[in-house]
Amino acid sequence: MERRFGEEWSLPLEDETVFSAQHNAAVTLMLPVLGPCFGLSILFFAVWDYLVDPGELVNTFLMRLALVGLGASAYVTTPLR
């Protein structure tokens, strides 16, 4: 019998469901703590950009802010998920 790629590493359905629920619960607890840390890192990068090239500060800050916003949208529940 031929096995599909990755099948030998997959968990049984019940274990996969429990693992996913535990992972989601852990991430839910971490997001309120990590969110401000990620926000501070964006501000620190803005200071670094100012020191390296003050003329590009606005562009790089807006680009990072847009990328953070796009990434944060993954945590919003929508009808598509």
Which of the listed ranges 7-16, 18-27, 32-41, 68-77 does the model predict with the highest average pLDDT?
Answer: 18-27
pLDDT surpasses 70 at 2: no
pLDDT surpasses 70 at 5: no
Say if CB 50 and CB 58 are below 8 A apart: no
Q: Is the pTM of this model over 0.75?
A: no
Per-residue model confidence as pLDDT tens digits over 38-81: 888 888 988 998 999 999 999 999 999 898 888 877 777 777 66
**Which of these, 72, 35, 51, lies nearest to 60 by C-alpha position?**
51
Per-residue tokens: 17: 């469901």
